């Protein structure tokens, strides 16, 4: 595709909401409107809008004044998938391929390309659209920071800040009541969010999915702190953490979702085990969706804007079927084939782990 043939570009936000989504929408739309007078079509509720033909042309006023706003003006869905969409038939959830009608809707709106903003699930679906002849440019979004191909995703910095602030606030209660306080943090199967928030908040113990924890080591840490007069401990625990040889704690199964398994509850289980083992009073706080909400940090606003402008540049240059990414301090393009279906976890030799241990933080294992 040449620059001159690009006339109408669709844009959607898929998966869970995330601080910075509106900043990306703003940057993509304004860049295309200002530079090339290209029409931008907002697709409502992620891939659901493509499936159901719910779209609208975005005007300048639609994307002005939204830089600092949380959520997404387009809406989103973490259930919709054109290639395997859950629908209710005869009282049962059935997975149906709706790709044919989706492609017809794309053709009807004369979309020359689609900007897909999302995480692993969104990039996997984007890759399938690409394989069906739909030009796509991806923008990496997730508070979990686990998307392959980029050093950082937008939304992560905001979520880390929220997690760190929560730990800060928990400190005063833990210290006043001489308790072991567990703060359960999102992140699914990667520990970036818990590790970042735990270090920033000064947690005494940080537990992440990449390191299966030993309950004895955790109990030894909190008991040692109690013996030396530090009569409280803060444990930052990832929702995907689990004991050696143990299982993940699953809060529920959402059958009509692309991500059917919903993790949650490890802090409650672990807190009871610590209290039974040590006799120290414990309490657990599950942050949950608090980490997704609110206004993005300055860092995320800047990164999201850079990603949006970078995506617009790829479109104008005809460099399609790519995802914009941050490598070092540069915005680069990564082929979508390399991204979808892969998870970027915390490496076991990560300097972040060394930093945590250097200041006395217990990681629940002997390294």
* Helix H or strand E segment including 5: none
pLDDT greater than 70 at residue 4 = no
- What is each CA distance from 275 to 220, 224, 230, in whole angstroms? 12, 15, 17
pLDDT given at position 222: 95
Give CA separation, 48 vs 106, 122, 314, in Å. 12, 12, 25
CA 292 to chain centre: 8
The pLDDT of 239-249, averaged and rounded, is 92
Report which DSSP code applies to 248: -
- CA 274 remoteness from chain centre: 30
Beta strands in 104-249 (DSSP E): 113-118, 136-140, 180-185, 205-207, 233-238
Which positions ≥6 away from 20 have C-beta within 8 Å? 141, 154, 155, 158, 296, 300, 301, 303, 304
Pick from 222, 190, 235, 228: which is nearest to 209 by CA? 190
The whole-angstrom separation of Cα 215 and Cα 218 is 5
Which residue ranges form the domains of the chain, and what is each CATH number? 3-154+294-338 (3.40.50.450), 156-291+347-358 (3.40.50.460)
Residue among 103, 105, 108 nearest 134 (CA): 103
Rounded to whole angstroms, what are the CA distances from 132 to 4, 106, 210? 23, 12, 36
249: closest CA among 205, 214, 195, 209? 209
Using one digit for the tens of pLDDT, what is the confidence trace for 259-306? 667 788 999 999 999 999 999 999 999 998 888 889 999 999 999 999
Q: How far apart are CA 293 and CA 234, in angstroms?
A: 23
* Catalytic-role residue among 144, 146, 157, 204: 144
CA neighbours closer than 13 Å in the CB half-sphere of residue 272: 4
pLDDT classification of 258: cutoffs 50, 70, 90: low
The share of the chain scoring above pLDDT 70, in percent, equals 97
The model's pLDDT over 22-59, given as tens digits with 9 standing for 90+, comes to: 999 999 999 999 877 899 999 999 999 999 999 999 99
Q: Which two tokens stand for residue 230?
A: 């530090």
- Angle 266-278/215-227 helices, nearest 10 degrees? 60
On the question of pLDDT at 1 being above 60, the answer is no
Catalytic, 204? Answer no
Q: What is the pTM of this model?
A: 0.92
The pair of three-digit structure tokens given for residue 84, joined into one six-digit string: 């395997």
- Summarised one tens digit per residue, pLDDT across range 62-108 is 999 999 999 999 999 888 999 988 887 887 888 899 999 999 999 99
**Bridge pairing between strands 322-327 and 8-13:** unpaired
Judge contact between 339 and 176, C-beta under 8 A: no
Say whether 31 sits in a helix, a strand or coil: helix
pLDDT confidence band for 255 (50 / 70 / 90):
low
Q: 298-317 and 21-36 helices cross at what angle (nearest 10)? A: 40
Residues 284, 184 contacting (CB under 8 angstroms) = yes
Closest CA to 120 of 95, 147, 138: 147
> What are the tens digits of pLDDT across the range 224-236?
999 998 889 999 9
Cα–Cα distance for residue pair 56/109, rounded to 1 Å: 10
Question: Is residue 256 over pLDDT 90?
Answer: no
């Amino acid at each position: 595709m040449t620059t001159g043939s690009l006339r109408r570009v669709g844009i959607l936000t898929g998966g869970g909401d995330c601080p910075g989504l509106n900043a990306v929408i703003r940057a993509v739309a304004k860049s295309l409107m200002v530079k090339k007078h290209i029409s931008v079509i907002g697709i409502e509720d992620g891939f659901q809008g493509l499936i159901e033909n719910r779209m609208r042309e975005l005007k300048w006023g639609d994307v002005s004044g939204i830089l600092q706003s949380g959520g997404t003006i387009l809406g989103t869905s973490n259930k919709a998938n054109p290639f395997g969409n859950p629908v209710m038939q005869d009282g049962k959830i059935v997975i149906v391929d709706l790709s044919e009608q989706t492609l017809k809707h794309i053709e009807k709106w004369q979309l020359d390309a689609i900007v897909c903003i999302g995480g692993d699930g969104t990039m996997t679906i984007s890759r399938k659209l690409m394989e069906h002849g739909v030009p796509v440019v991806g923008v990496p979004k997730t508070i979990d920071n686990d998307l392959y191909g980029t050093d950082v995703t937008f939304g992560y910095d905001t979520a880390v800040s929220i997690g760190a602030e929560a730990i800060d606030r928990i400190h005063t209660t833990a210290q006043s009541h001489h308790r072991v306080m567990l703060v359960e943090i999102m992140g699914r199967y990667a520990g970036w969010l818990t590790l970042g928030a735990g270090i920033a908040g000064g947690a005494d113990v940080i537990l992440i999915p990449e390191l299966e924890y030993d309950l004895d080591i955790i109990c030894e840490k909190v008991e040692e702190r109690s013996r030396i007069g530090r009569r409280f401990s803060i444990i930052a625990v990832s929702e995907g953490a689990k004991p050696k040889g143990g299982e993940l704690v699953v809060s529920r199964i959402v059958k009509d979702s692309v991500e059917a398994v919903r993790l949650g509850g490890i802090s409650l289980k672990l807190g009871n085990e610590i209290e039974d083992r040590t006799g120290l009073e414990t309490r657990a706080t599950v942050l949950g969706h608090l980490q997704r909400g609110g206004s993005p940090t300055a860092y995320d606003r800047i990164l999201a804007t850079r990603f949006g402008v970078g995506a617009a540049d790829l479109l104008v240059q005809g460099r399609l079927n790519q995802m914009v990414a941050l490598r070092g301090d540069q915005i680069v393009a990564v082929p979508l084939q390399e991204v979808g279906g892969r998870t970027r976890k915390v490496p076991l030799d990560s300097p972040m782990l060394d930093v945590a241990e250097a200041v006395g933080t217990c990681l629940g294992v002997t390294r």
